[in-house]
Amino acid sequence: MNAPVLVLNANFEPINVCSTRRAVGLILSGKAGMVVNGRGMIHTVSRSIPHPSVIRLEYMVKRPRPQVKLTRREVFRRDDYTCQYCGRSGLDLTVDHVIPRHMGGGHTWTNVVAACAACNHRKGGRKLEEVQMRLRHYPAEPPTSAAYIFGRHLDGNDEWGQFIQGW
C-alpha cells in the first residue's frame, strides 16, 4: 500500500507522487480516476479494487511549477554522484563551495558542487586558481522539467514514462 502512484492534473500534467493508500482514497471518494492499472488488484473483504499506477484528478489544480530545492541530495543527483574535481564516483561525497563563503561565494546552484573528501580537503577554503584545480563541469541549476523532478521514481514504474516525458 506504500508503492508510489503518479498523480496527474486534469490536463494530464504530472503534479505529484503519492502512496497507493492515498490514491485509492482519492479514487473511492470520486476526486480522481484511474488512468493506468499496472499492478493487479487489491482485495478487500467485500470487493476487489484495481491497484493504481497512474491516477488523474477530476478537477484542475492550479499550482506553480515545482522548483528543485538546493539540498545535498539534489547536488549529488545533479552531479551524478561524481566528484567534480577528480571524477571519482561514490556515495561518500561532500558538498564544496567553488568560491568559499568567507570570500563572498553564496550557497547557490552555481557555486555548489559535489566533491570527494580528499579534493575538498585539498582545496580547503581557497579559490580554484590558488590550488591549481579545475572543475570537470561548471555547476548550473538543474532543469525543472517533469522528467528530472519525477525521474527518480521511474525505476520499476515503466508505465509512467509516457506521462512524464511529454512535460
Q: 89 and 105: one domain?
A: yes
Q: Tell me how many domains the chain contains.
A: 2
Would you state the pLDDT for residue 10? 92
Give me the domain span that covers residue 36.
4-65+149-164
Would you state the pLDDT for residue 58? 95
Contact between residue 57 and residue 31 where contact means Cβ atoms under 8 Å apart: yes
**pLDDT by position in tens, the chain (length 167):** 778 899 999 998 888 889 999 999 999 999 999 988 877 888 888 888 888 989 999 999 998 877 889 999 999 999 999 999 999 998 899 999 999 999 999 999 999 999 999 999 999 999 999 999 999 999 999 887 777 777 766 666 667 777 777 55
Q: How far is it, in rounded angstroms, from Cα 41 to Cα 36? A: 12
- pTM of full prediction above 0.85: no
Q: 121 and 83: one domain?
A: yes
CB neighbours of residue 98 within 10 Å: 19
Q: Is residue 116 part of a domain?
A: yes
Q: 76 and 46: one domain?
A: no
Q: How far is it, in rounded angstroms, from Cα 96 to Cα 161? A: 34
Q: How far is it, in rounded angstroms, from Cα 68 to Cα 45? A: 42
* Nine cell digits for residue 120: 575538498
User: Which ranges constitute the DSSP H helices of the chain?
Assistant: 20-28, 72-78, 117-123, 146-149, 161-164
Q: 35 and 78: one domain?
A: no
